Amino acid sequence: MTAVTANDVSLSWYEASARQRIDALVDAGSFCEFIGPELREISPHLSIFDLPAQFDDGIVIGRGRLDGASVLVAAQEGRFMGGAFGEVHGAKLTGLLRAARTLKQDVVILFDSGGVRLQEANAGELAIAEIMRAVIEARRARVNVVGLIGGRAGCYGGGSLIAGTCSRLIISEQGRLSVSGPEVIETNKGIEEFDSRDRALVWRTMGGKHRYLIGGADAFVEDEALAFRQAAIAALGAKRGCNAAALEAEQKRLERRLQRFGEVEDAIEIWQTLGIDDPTDVPALPTGAFLRAANDRENADDAR
Amino acid sequence: MSDWGMQKAALGERLTGGRQHATGKVVAIPNLLAFLKAVIRSGDRVCLEGDNQKQADILAVALANLDPRDVHDLHMVQSGVVLPAHLDIFEKGIARRLDFSYSGPQSARIARMLFGGKIELGAVHTYLELFARYFIDLTPNVALIAAVSADKDGNLYTGPNTEDTPTVVEATSYKNGFVVAQVTEIVDKVPRVDIPGDLVHFVVEANRPFYVEPLFTRDPAAITETQILTAMLAIKGIYAPYGVRRLNHGIGFNTAAIELLLPTYGEKLGLKGKVCTHFALNPHPTMIPAIEAGWVEQIHCFGSEVGMEDYVAARSDVFFTGPDGSLRSNRAFCQTAGLYACDMFIGSTLQIDLEGHSSTVMTSRIAGFGGAPNMGSDPRGRRHPSEPWLKAGAEADPDCNAALRRGRKLVVQIGETFGERNTPLFVERLDALDLAQELKLDLAPVMVYSDDVTHIVTEEGIANLLMCRSKDEREQAIRGVAGYTEIGRARDANLVEQLRQRGVIQRPEDLGIDPLDADRNLLAARSIKDLMLASGGLYRPPSRFRNW
């Protein structure tokens, strides 16, 4: 019989709060928060809707050390309004990315977001655009911006667009990355197109394993803070810069990918085409075996 | 009297009618409607098998497709009114009268139809109560049942979801009733004979499995820290001091939290082997970690649970299994076991009033009872002693001569002071009373009566109602654990404090529990995937529960 003990040895990234994730990510005790909750920079919009605000507006930003190197860090709190982007939330991330460009310091973004906050949609949409620009400008200045995806809210909507501009993306099996969420697709296209309550379908369409296999993410890790930390350290060493040639190459790859898989009905067919022996087994594979099976996956190369 | 044998003659007529639409005992799907028309008579008492789990769904839809000009005024006697077809039968005028136990997903529609006069209600029963009446005054003329496979002689294999079938067949077939089974397939030899073929008159080959609802799967990912706190209170404040070894858990996240805390928090308290060794319980996936950690000696099941089949088969040391290896469940026996052989029932509820009556009825819904009122009641016919039963009895009546004192079953209601959508658990007046008034019912649908409940657990603490000596004390004990609800805010602080001094109310700190320790890290599994991994891959959760 297997002895079952409390899961207190490792920290589940999926379960952890934004602050717990940061503490476990950076070198012990090295994190220093900017515009912390004590400054009470709350959303100016939520009170209009009689909704509770949070003193950090659902995002923690600051500086820490990662394997000794100084990095700027932003972590979204998925448990506050699904980690959604509002005016203050977005401005904190924009500011951090602009500072990164000026200071030439790498950035790690811990995504956990359903997208833009509907109650402050205009400000939120603007923030997404500003953040994407700030990411690209930072990357043009040879700053690496690494995204970590494995939170409860996933990385949807505007969050997924920002993720698309990052230098590298690290994802866990629990992580979900997609522009439209399951319920949105079902609402617009019907249950025949997408059954949002079929969670296995959701995960094999938007989940970490599938995103890694089709080049939507660059590293696949266990749902553990230490695994995210090690992968982040490795990703920060990635080739720097971002130019038109890399983007054009990625555009060509995406066109090829669309040709290759555009007609496919289910992710399992894609996995089969990618040469995975038992594609239906993919969801059940533990990390090591999955990474071996994923040898011939699609790869976004230097576009990210 | 020359009319003896009329029932056998009537059965003979049904058999003759049925044979015209069958090959031997086998009815093909295209002939099903004509077959049912030939064997069912207007006014028949019909048991359509289905409870909160398995459903004779093909037969239900076929019955609803009959023409009410051919068949009408049926009296349905069935455990569950769960499928839309179950009510279509009434909507179309095929059936008129209903005696049932559980309605779950159809609870709102059934209330509307009762109000609109489409259904003439006999009564809402507990499972065991309805089964009992099958043998006294609600014996079916026709039973439409569900099984996994049949052979040409009608021997049935019901697989892990045997549930109500033996009871329904026993009551029907031995009283000259007519039994039809829908089966997934006809085979040469069934894996095991759950129902002997001579009790089954016809089988319908459906070519697909009967529907089963995964009702007992609780995703550990949705368990909150407040629920964990209530679970810690229950384990340390009730399971441990009473030494509860034989018990039943209701469905709900509070009890799922208890199950997942046994191998962690329970282990730390040194309770392994001292509590929770024997259960009347469905194969809850959240029991896997405790079973794997060697906590549980034996579990008897009402039904199965979708995805747990292989795990149960591989753990026949714990579960009841047949020679084919798969689970043998039996609702009637398990309900009896829960009533007489368990020392505790613990479950969640939606409303508790100031006397301690509790109900799951909210607004205009008749969800029925299922098994909970049976599990959650003190059996007056019990005569065997056990430590928890005697201890509870002594608490209730300390001055009585011990040899003449009844023990008490522990009946525990557990929940958060504010439930889903911030609805208060505690109320001045149960919604069930309004419903009874609206529908002119003789009885308000109360799940657990106040004289059966012994403890109420919330995040505020435990109220031990056994130790209350007056109606007033009881009310203050309930208010004392009702927190910030209106009921809780209206407590008499002095009386509540006195009750606390006497141990009638125990706060987390009185039990040495720090609410800050109620952390999801305490759960032995925090996701469905953890449960699958803990089972060594034997548990195969349905797609809708898999986040991988």
* Cross-chain Cβ contact A12/B526 below 8 Å: yes
- In eight-state DSSP terms, residue B159 is T
Model pLDDT, residue A7? 44
**C-alpha span between B368 and B103 (Å, rounded):** 5
Picking from A14, A15, A198, the nearest residue to B544 by CB comes out as A198
- Subunit contact B526:A7, Cβ cutoff 8 A: yes
Q: Which two tokens stand for residue A279?
A: 């594609």
Grade residue B547 by pLDDT with cuts at 50, 70 and 90: confident
> By the CB < 8 Å criterion, does A8 face chain B?
yes
pLDDT of residue A6: 43
What one-character DSSP code corresponds to residue B220?
Answer: G
Q: What is the pLDDT of residues A90-103, one digit of tens each?
A: 999 999 999 999 99
- Chain B residues with CB under 8 Å of A285 CB are none
- At residue A303 the predicted structure's pLDDT band, cuts being 50, 70 and 90, is low
A28 touches chain B (CB under 8 A): no
Q: How far apart are CA B446 and CA A77, in angstroms?
A: 42
- Determine the straight-line distance between the first and last CA of chain A, rounded to whole angstroms: 46
Least confident of B87-96, B242-251, B432-441: B432-441
ipTM over 0.95: no
| DSSP-assigned beta bridge partners for residue B54 | B212
Share of residues in chain A with pLDDT > 90 (%): 87
pLDDT value of residue B518: 97
Nearest CA in chain B to A10: B521
Show the 3-state SS of chain A.
CCCCCCCCCCCCCCCCCHHHHHHHHCCCCCCEEECCHHHCCCCCCHHHHCCCCCCCCCEEEEEEEECCEEEEEEEECCCCHHHCECHHHHHHHHHHHHHHHHHCCCEEEEECECCECHHHHHHHHHHHHHHHHHHHHHHHCCCCEEEEECCCCCEECHHHHHHHHCCEEEEECCCEEECCCHHHHHHHHCCCCCCCCCHHHHHHHHEHHHHHHECCCCEEECCCHHHHHHHHHHHCCCCCCCCHHHHHHHHHHHHHHHHHHCCCCCHHHHHHHCCCCCHHHHHHCCHHHHHHHCCCCECCHHHC
Nearest Cβ partner for A200 among B289, B294, B543? B543
Residue B181 pLDDT greater than 50, yes or no: yes
Contacts of A283 in chain B (CB under 8 A): 546, 548
For B45-63, what is each residue's pLDDT tens digit? Answer: 999 999 999 999 999 999 9
Residues of chain A contacting B546 with CB distance shorter than 8 Å: 199-200, 203, 283
Q: Is B548 on the interface with A (CB under 8 A)?
A: yes
Across A192-196, B235-239, B424-428, least confident range: A192-196
Whether A172 and chain B come into contact, CB under 8 Å, resolves to no
Distance from CA of A140 to the nearest CA of B (A): 36
In the predicted model, what is the mean pLDDT of residues B139-143? Answer: 98
What pLDDT, on the 0 to 100 scale, is given for residue B116? Answer: 86
Q: Looking at the complex, does the CB of residue B422 fall below 8 Å from at least one CB of chain A?
A: no
Closest CA to A283 of B202, B270, B528, B265: B528
Give the 3-state secondary structure of residue B152: coil
Q: What is the CATH number of domain A6-241?
A: 3.90.226.10
- Distance from C-alpha of A301 to C-alpha of A162, rounded to nearest angstrom: 17
Q: What is the pTM of this model?
A: 0.90
* Domain range summary for chain A, segments of one domain joined by +: 6-241, 243-304
Q: Is the pLDDT of residue A219 over 70?
A: yes
pLDDT per residue over B152-176, tens digit each?
A: 999 999 999 999 999 999 999 999 9
> Which of residues 254 through 283 in chain A touch B, CB cutoff 8 A?
283
Asked if B547 lies within 8 A of A283 by C-beta distance, the reply is: no
Say if the Cβ atoms of B522 and A207 lie within 8 Å. Answer: no
Query: Does the beta-carbon distance from B522 to A12 stay under 8 Å?
Result: no
Judge whether A164 and A139 are in contact, CB under 8 Å: no
CB atoms within 10 A of CB A27: 14
Mean pLDDT over B480-502 rounds to: 97
Is the CB of B289 less than 8 angstroms away from the CB of A4?
yes
Query: Using CB atoms and an 8 Å cut-off, which of residues 292-331 of chain B contact chain A?
Result: 292-294
> Which helix (H) or strand (E) element contains residue B228?
helix B225-234
With contact defined as beta carbons under 8 Å apart, do B288 and B544 qualify? no
- Shortest distance, CA B259 to any CA of chain A (angstroms): 13
**Cβ-Cβ contacts under 8 Å, B539 against chain A:** none
**Average model confidence (pLDDT) for chain B?**
96
